[in-house]
Structure 1
Amino acid sequence: MFKKIGPGVLVAAAFVGPGTIAVCTLAGVHFGYTLIWAVLLSILATIILQEMAGRIGVVSQSGLVDVIKKELKVDWIKKLVIIIVLGAILVGNAAYEAGNISGATLGLEGLFGQGALSPFYPLLIGCFAFLLLWFSSYKTLEKVFIGLVATMGVCFVVSAIITKPSWGEIAKGMFVPSLPEGGLLTVVALIGTTVVPYNLFLHASLAKEKWKSKDELTNVKWDTITSIGLGGLVSVAILITASAAPIENITNAMDMAKGLEPLFGKAAIYFMGIGLLAAGITSAITAPLAAAYVASSCFGWNDDMKNRKFRLVWFIVLFFGVLSLSFNFKPIEVIQFAQVANGILLPVMAILLLWIVNKKRVMGTHRNTLFQNVLGFIIVGFTIFLGTKSILKVIGLF
């Protein structure tokens, strides 16, 4: 079973980052168990899109951008798509990298406190990510991430169980969708932090590294469902913990752990701290890695992890994250540009993904079924809504 696990683990690790943890925490605090269905919906959408991306990678033995460049025949459309992809992924991942590192920093502070060394936590995490990316191969990263995702799963699930939640309310929140007053934005946020554009590129590139034969497409599907399902379990566990926690004012997961400490002792802080540290580190590694794969495809470089240009891209993204956090530098214009670019990229990529996965010339007999296409079109509608909301929020109309 574990031999079949692969790139899906990195995808799960990428979306279960500090942003997802914060949104799930606030969803649980403000709306209880009622929005668990939204997490499950976002996981289902992620599985469908990521399975398509992984399938394209294995069948074509190319990165997603390479396939798009080959299939788009109109020159100006091809250039426009590449500009959008580069802008959203390179600038976006660099802008959000500080958030990934800050999540891991929060976990370290929960475990070791805010002492004299705490200002150096971001640099410490950045160095760890650098060493892992510089010296590791894909197979090494895969093993590391299986361990980190498993750690997240155990920590957050145990945290949920020790709060003694209402299982009846949990079942109702899962299977009886409801939208409490003021809950729409939270539903959008839950889906938006799970369906991540850069994961599509990451999955296609890593899938072709892992599997070389079309006969292994069943493994792609198994890996995607299992790994992303585990990521969804982590998200649900965080929401449940926040719902059951006997506290009101929570801004992040460590606040929740500190609130649980009087009831459950130091165990709550340790479990939450380790889980948050693992979540922050995994996202801090996958974001630069995805940016490097995208840049390599766009510029036609060799996407070998030892390639100097490949390494330069992920180093710049990682360096920007550490620098921003270390000096409390928050370039709001860059972040806003990244939000707009990602708001455009998500629906564009969902449409292109659906188009490519139905092309006989690319996929042969491994094209989408009618059922997969119906689900795909529904998800495209969702992504258009999410993208529009992201853009309107930046310009102040939402």
Structure 2
Amino acid sequence: MAEMAKGAGKLSRGLALFLPGIFLLGFNIGTGSVTTMATAGANYGMSLLWTVAISCAATFLMIAAYGRYTLVTGETALEAFRKHIHPAVGIFFILALGIGVCASVMGVMGIVAEISYEWSKTFIIGGIDPLFWAAFFCAVAFFIFWSGRTQVFERVLAVIVAIMAGCFVLNFFILMPPVEDMAAGLLPAIPEVASSETGPLLLIASMVGTTIFSGLFIMRTTLVKEAGWTIVHDKQQRRDAAFAAIMMFIISASIMAAAAGSLFAEGIGLDRASQMIGLLEPLAGPLAVSIFAIGIIAAGVSSQFPNLLMIPWLLCDYRSTPRDMTLWQYRAFVFAISLLGLVVPLFDARPVFVLILSQAFNVVLLPVTVGCIIYLGNRTDLMGDHRHSVATNVGLGGIFLFSLLTGFMGFQGLIETLGV
């Protein structure tokens, strides 16, 4: 028994080293990512896999850069924006991310409810009403929040993320496309436009937007500070960031591959993730459908929960106050945000449109987010001998230019989608 307890203790300590990265992973891989990756795989096979690889590499560099800033200075991102750039920059991020989060809460829960409804049709005649599913999962997310402790949040998310990752990776092996197609997809190329309304350029912008998410890097600084890490933990911080980025690539590639190996192979396009529930069953059977549905639901819950936390944490960071989520005002605020998850099924709104609205703010935010860390990370008075290296500056400069390009593509695609 003593040996088992000792082994369990080692496992727990080992897991604790990666909990901040797991939190980011759960935040990043949500229904928007699933929808985008599944659409890319169904419409273009594995030809856009290179976009995922580049986006995940850029995400690693941004996570590591923002995390390193907090290791050196002990300041979160919003503290730094307020103190060293301008208070208006911090307020801009709070407003833009806050609006984006509210839209995301509605869109994510709308898609989770839609997926759950379609899946329930496979075992209950007529299915279970989407409003019931939305209310149930909103209650689950709020119940997790009720404890108020970051350690509890991280451990619960670790379980949910493990379920999500297991489902998508298992589906990858069930529906795996040819290995040569996956290898060819790592070479940058723009495929021909499919019959779907989602063109490759808009899809590339969406894939970048769902992976290189500004809120991810802002939250990273909060998690690093909560963990009590300093510059002596730099290697650990980079390992944690690398773990998050690698897992993002594996899960995203698995989703794309599952759609490519089934729908693309049959010449069946896709415009939303819920279509896969009906399309997959005759191709892969009910087991693959159930695994995929559980994976999407886990992805939705894992991203919904950090969405609820973001605005209270941003406000605490900006004001440099303790992040005590047990205070009644925070619980009331998060409860109100949770209710937004009922909007889509209650009013029969379009969840994909709502998600597009939430992603529109990231098009504006990402270049600003990159620019801020380039400025802060190169200030000798803040970073001392730990300021950015030449290689880091080159990498961040490349991400800045890449964000401008994909931001323009996303803006053009958004205009076309909205018919403006």
What TM-score do the two structures reach when normalised by structure 1?
Answer: 0.90
Structure-2 change in CA distance of 1:279 and 1:161 (3 Å) = same
8 Å CA contact 1:58–1:212 kept in 2: the answer is yes
Residue deviations 1:250-272 (CA, integer Å, cap 9, x gap): 33334324333234322111110
Q: Which residue of 1 aligns with 2:110?
A: 102
Asked whether the equivalents of residues 95 and 334 of structure 1 are also in contact (C-alpha less than 8 Å), the reply is yes
- Deviations along 1:218-240, one digit per CA (max 9) or x if unpaired, are 11111111122112211000111
Q: CA deviation at 1:173?
A: 0.9
Distance 1:228 1:136, change over 3 A: farther
Aligned: 1:318 with 2:321: no
Q: For 1:320 and 1:201, locate their aligned partners in 2 and report how far apart those are by CA, in whole Å.
A: 23
Over 3 Å counting, the alpha-carbon distance change for 1:393 and 1:37 in structure 2 is closer
CA contact (8 A) 1:111 1:273 kept: yes
- Counterpart of 1:226 (choices 225, 237, 243) is 243
Equivalent residues in 2 for 1:59-98 (5 A)?
59-72=72-85, 78-98=86-106
Q: Tell whether 2:364 aligns with 1:344.
A: yes
Shift of residue 309, structure 1, vs aligned partner:
4.1
Query: CA–CA distance in 1 between the matches of 2:227 and 2:270?
Result: 41
Indicate conservation of the 8 Å contact 2:167/2:291, yes or no: yes
Question: Counterpart in 2 of 1:165?
Answer: 177
Tell me, in whole angstroms, the C-alpha distance in 2 between the residues paired with 1:263 and 1:340.
35
Give the corresponding residue for 2:40.
27
In structure 2, relative to structure 1, the CA distance for the partners of 1:272 and 1:395 (3 Å cut) is: closer
Contact 2:148 2:324 in 1 (8 A): no
Q: Structure 1, residues 81-100: CA drift from partner, whole Å, max 9, x if none?
A: 13321221111100111111
Q: Residue 186 in 1 paired to residue 203 in 2?
A: yes
What is aligned with 2:273?
A: 253
Where does residue 160 of structure 2 map in the other structure?
148
Identity level (%):
24
Alignment correspondent of 1:302: 322
Shift in CA distance, 233/40, structure 1 to aligned 2, threshold 3 Å: same
Pairing partner for 2:234 from 195, 207, 217: 217
The amino acid that maps onto 2:396 is G
Consecutive unaligned residues in structure 2, runs of 5 or more: 1-13, 194-199
Alpha-carbon distance between aligned partners in 1 of 2:38 and 2:188, rounded to the nearest angstrom: 19
Q: Is the 8 A contact 2:104 2:354 kept in 1?
A: no
1:14 aligns to what? 27
Per-residue deviation, 1:160: 1.4
Note closer, same or farther for the CA distance 1:368–1:98 as it changes in structure 2 (3 Å cut): same
- TM-score, length of structure 2 as denominator length: 0.86
> How far off its partner does 1:334 sit?
8.9
Contact 2:63 2:220 in 1 (8 A): yes
Distance 1:308 1:384, change over 3 A: farther
The residue that corresponds to 1:48 in the other structure is: 61
Identify the residue that residue 75 of structure 1 maps to in structure 2: none
3-state secondary structure, aligned to 1:135: coil
The answer (yes or no) to whether the contact 1:87–1:338 under 8 Å persists in 2 is: no
Q: For residues 263 and 26 of structure 1, do their structure 2 counterparts lie closer, same or farther at Cα, with a shift above 3 Å needed? A: closer
Contact 1:101/1:284, CA 8 A, preserved across alignment:
yes
Partner of 1:283: 303
The worse-fitting range, judged by mean Cα deviation, of 360-369 and 280-289 is 360-369
The answer to whether 1:5 aligns with 2:18 is: yes
Q: Tell me how far 1:104 sits from its aligned partner.
A: 2.6
1:293–1:310 contact (8 Å) kept in structure 2: no
- Partners of 2:317 and 2:406 in 1: CA distance: 26
Partner of 1:58: 71
Deviation at 1:64, TM superposition (A): 0.7
| Corresponding residue number in structure 1 for 2:402 | 382
- Deviation, 1:339, is 5.1
CA distance in 1, matches of 2:20, 2:62: 14
- Structure 1 residue 109: Cα displacement: 2.9
Q: What are the superposed Cα offsets for residues 304-339 of structure 1, whole Å, 9 maximum, x if unpaired?
A: 222344444433332223334433357999988755
Superposition pairs for residues 324-335 of structure 1, below 5 Å? 324-328=344-348
CA contact (8 A) 2:81 2:90 kept: no
Aligned residues of 1:295 and 1:313 also touching (Cα < 8 A): no
Structural RMSD (CA): 2.6
**Per-residue deviation, 1:159:** 0.8
C-alpha distance in 1 between matches for 2:357 and 2:114: 26
2:312 alignment counterpart: 292
